[in-house]
Structure 1
Amino acid sequence: MKTKLLAVIACILWGSAFAGAKIGFEYTTPLHLSGMRFTLAGILLIPLLIYRKVDWKNNLKEWRYMLLFGFLQTFLQYGLFFMGLDKVPAAISAIIIGGGPLFVALMAHFTIPDDKLTLRKSLAILLGLTGIVFISITKGGTIHTDFVFYTGIILLMISNIVGASTNIIVAKNRNRVSPIMLTAFANFTGGILLYAVSFFIEDWHIKDYTAEFYIAWLWLALIPAAGFSIWYTLLQKPQIKVSELNVWKFVVPVAGVILSWLIVPGEYPDIYSVCGIIVITLSLVILQTQPRKKIIR
């Protein structure tokens, strides 16, 4: 029960990022905002590392592993995520990212011996991807009239694939480093990389930010700091299967869509978004449902 509760808390936090990012985009560019977010997220975890008395010296021996992880999870996955989110409405982005567990289930089948793809998982993946394609087509119009929208969809899908791979990496390297140290190191180094790249490829400059921006920035930084610390701690438990834990990410699109409707101006419920939530959630419920065992008399 504790595992499920922590998983849901992490997913609700991630779901709130869609609305927070849309607010931040009103003040600065996607990669710049992402770099600011993750750099601060890494710094915010330092007091927790000290409080938990994490062995810095021993953990930093794995700096190459953590640096690679920072490049994949923070720089690549979330760089693509923020660029895609800038081109696609927050509610629709939440639905696309909500298909992440389907990619995890597929990758786990080929990389983790005791986490194979079953007929039930295959059906869930097919149904979930159908939901994503349906939302993309109905909301995007034709490729000739809405190229930007489809570019955003592709970026978000690639972000999903990279995110699935980082979950597999953590599951296969249990107890290699402290999950809090891994989160802090990956957030900080990846954030610095994002910030540096944004300086060269985006048109941004220092300007006066309002209280609204600082609140959104702080919240966006707290989300990965808390969310990934929880998630990687759960993934490092040997009894937890990576594909089954990721099923709980169906909470992300639901929370993201609802919060976007409530917070982001111009975002409102429509039949396509509701259908997307239903289809993808149904696929993930199928993925979670365990078949009944026959009783031998």
Structure 2
Amino acid sequence: MVLQTLINYSLFYFGLDLVPGALGAVIVGSQPLVTAVVAAMMHNEENLTKKKIITIIFGISGVILISAGRQAFRLGTAMEFLGVIMILGANIATATSNVIVSLKTRGINPLVISSFSLGTGGLILYLVSLPVEGYTHADKPMVYWLDLLWLSFMSAYAFSLWYKLLQRPGVRVSELNLWKFIIPVVGAVLSWLLVPGENPEWLTIIGMIIITGSLILFFLNNRKASPKANTVK
């Protein structure tokens, strides 16, 4: 898990720094697709079903519309292409770690997994960054440190909840990751509410409707199919 933290975050942030924002959002938004493929390769019970593929296609389409409504797409230089590859690499690292947590860590407290992987991985990343970025001393106001502490706590808590869900019996990694399509939806809504000058765009709204609708239909169909499967057994 420490190795996953190192690979994921180093590739993720370097990659985002190289690509336009809209394109980066779409590549990051492809995480459920990458996870579905990786999970199918690593776990016999993780199948790429027709319903799952259709939901992923609609989800990625929604992410594209949300991103297009906020910023024009552009990919022209070799460095931007490298950024895309790096973000995809980060997605693969995250998907692999999700499957490993689901298969190998049951019985281990998710708080321990989250704290150890983020704490140790973060410390190593910081030490590696010193010769690359250098050390910059700057006086920060108390609000900065309070915000940093709050964000650190919320990130660790969110990871713990995520790992707990991955460890639950019967939870499929690929299906759980479909909920990540909600991230750009929540991000768009929060930006409209909190960021001055951010207003709803029709493309963004349509993308949000597509994502929400596809997730609702997928999980409603799954709930209807579950009783039938139990009856057959």
TM tier, shorter chain?
0.7 to 0.9
1:207 paired to 2:138: yes
Q: In the alignment, which residue of structure 1 is the partner of 2:103?
A: 172
Q: In the alignment, which residue of structure 2 is the partner of 1:190?
A: 121
Structure 2: how far apart are the matches of 1:280 and 1:154? 25
Structure 2: how far apart are the matches of 1:290 and 1:113? 22
Q: Which runs of 5+ in 2 are unaligned?
A: none
Flag the 1:148–1:270 CA change in 2: closer, same or farther, 3 A: farther
1:70 paired to 2:25: no
Q: 1:247–1:287: 8 Å Cα contact kept in structure 2?
A: no
Q: What letter corresponds to residue 10 of structure 2 in structure 1?
A: G
Q: 1:77–1:162: 8 Å Cα contact kept in structure 2?
A: yes
TM alignment of 1:51-200, pairs within 5 A? 69-72=1-4, 74-86=5-17, 88-89=20-21, 96-132=27-63, 139-144=71-76, 154-175=85-106, 177-200=108-131
Aligned Cα root-mean-square deviation (Å): 3.4
Flag the 1:261–1:97 CA change in 2: closer, same or farther, 3 A: farther
Q: In the alignment, which residue of structure 1 is the partner of 2:150?
A: 219
Q: What letter corresponds to residue 143 of structure 1 in structure 2?
A: L
Flag the 1:258–1:181 CA change in 2: closer, same or farther, 3 A: same
Percent of pairs identical after alignment?
A: 36
CA shift, 1:147, in A, is 7.4
Number of residues of Structure 1 aligned to a counterpart in Structure 2 = 224
Structure 1: how far apart are the matches of 2:78 and 2:199? 22
Q: In the alignment, which residue of structure 2 is the partner of 1:260?
A: 191
Mean CA deviation greater in 156-165 or 226-235:
156-165
- The TM-score normalised by the length of structure 2 is 0.76
Structure 2: how far apart are the matches of 1:141 and 1:273? 14
Q: 1:121–1:286: 8 Å Cα contact kept in structure 2?
A: no
CA shift, 1:238, in A, is 1.6
Structure 2: how far apart are the matches of 1:141 and 1:245? 29
Q: In the alignment, which residue of structure 2 is the partner of 1:65?
A: none
- The TM-score normalised by the length of structure 1 is 0.62
Structure 2: how far apart are the matches of 1:88 and 1:263? 22
Q: 2:39–2:46: 8 Å Cα contact kept in structure 1?
A: yes
Flag the 1:162–1:257 CA change in 2: closer, same or farther, 3 A: farther
CA shift, 1:119, in A, is 0.7
CA shift, 1:151, in A, is 5.9
Partner SS, residue 137 of structure 2 = coil
Structure 1: how far apart are the matches of 2:216 and 2:84? 24
